[in-house]
């Protein structure tokens, strides 16, 4: 029902969707907005409640590429079940979207990471205690989804180069997702680092799993907005996350613009 109503409102659907996490909304200043729908107007879409997540579905022309933009996401820690958290991604797949770019703010674990760096995800660790594929299997979908290549190598390479061309400090690594909303303890961060995690956050992984289950190619990037507990010299706060995100947002917008104009998404 949600996909049908969106299609009736916007007509032809772009083949690329972008989910804007904290710090990535400045890209909208570079885009020509063609259609704008509030999540509250779309049946089944949960409304975002976290600062920095506006909760709008946009059809936009970004550079030479038409894109579908999810401006803001809902999170597991807000009290939604995984079905609600990933509803928007399943709707994008039902509309015919075949490529999706996920963005987020994350805490840096790798000792070489600094505030303001950007990390293209090569892999992830799901430590949220839940999985969006749990429960009945949709007709035509697999029960046991292979996640060997969760993040598309071609899209990831293009995203990394797009960041370099935008003048950003780019990294690559493994993202670990926790349920939140409390930040991690220093002991947890030490454990996550030993597991191979380079950054930690509270989103993206459920969307990645769902998108891959729906046959979509996925790329993802984290803005390292703070250093994780035990690495940071002070207490962690959402204000620090938003401060860093606002400082690097304009250059992050350049990265996304470069990415959508690359040959990788054709």
Catalytic residues, by residue number, are 22, 53, 75, 77-78, 105, 202-203, 226, 238
Cα–Cα dist 132/259, whole Å:
28
- Token pair, residue 176, equals 């670990």
Backbone phi, then psi, for 170, in 5-degree steps?
-105, 140
Cα–Cα dist 235/216, whole Å:
38
Cα–Cα dist 101/103, whole Å:
7
Give buried/exposed letters for 25-34 (b at 16+ CB in 10 A, else e): bbbbebbeee
Q: What DSSP string runs through 42-82?
A: STTPPPP-STT---EEEEEEETTEEEEEEES---GGGT--H
Cα–Cα dist 192/199, whole Å:
9
Residue 14 CB partners (closer than 8 Å, separation 6+) = 59, 65, 66, 67, 68, 97
Cα–Cα dist 100/169, whole Å:
22
Residue 6 near residue 56, CB atoms below 8 Å: no
Residue 255 near residue 23, CB atoms below 8 Å: no
């Amino acid at each position: 029902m949600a996909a049908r109503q969106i299609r009736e409102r916007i007509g032809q659907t772009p083949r690329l969707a972008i989910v804007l996490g904290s710090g990535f909304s400045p890209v909208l200043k570079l885009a020509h907005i063609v259609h704008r729908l509030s999540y509250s107007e779309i049946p089944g879409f949960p409304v975002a409640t976290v600062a920095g997540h506006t909760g709008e579905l946009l059809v936009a022309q970004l550079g030479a590429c038409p894109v579908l933009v999810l401006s803001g996401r809902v999170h597991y820690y807000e009290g939604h079940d995984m079905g609600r958290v990933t509803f928007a991604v399943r709707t994008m797949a039902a509309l015919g979207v075949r490529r999706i770019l996920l963005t987020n703010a994350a805490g840096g674990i790798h000792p070489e990471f600094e505030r303001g760096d950007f990390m293209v995800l090569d892999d992830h660790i799901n430590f949220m205690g839940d999985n969006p594929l749990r429960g009945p299997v949709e007709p035509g979908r697999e029960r046991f989804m292979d996640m060997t290549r969760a993040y598309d190598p071609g899209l990831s390479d293009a995203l990394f180069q797009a960041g370099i061309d935008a003048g950003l400090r780019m990294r690559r690594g493994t993202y670990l997702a926790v349920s939140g909303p409390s930040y991690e303890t220093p002991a947890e961060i030490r454990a996550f680092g030993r597991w191979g995690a380079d950054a930690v956050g509270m989103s993206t992984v459920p969307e990645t799993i769902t998108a891959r289950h729906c046959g979509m190619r996925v790329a993802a990037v984290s803005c390292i907005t703070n250093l994780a507990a035990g690495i940071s010299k002070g207490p962690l706060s959402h204000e620090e996350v938003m401060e860093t995100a606002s400082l690097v947002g304009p250059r992050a917008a350049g990265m996304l613009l470069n990415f959508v104009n690359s040959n990788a998404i054709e």
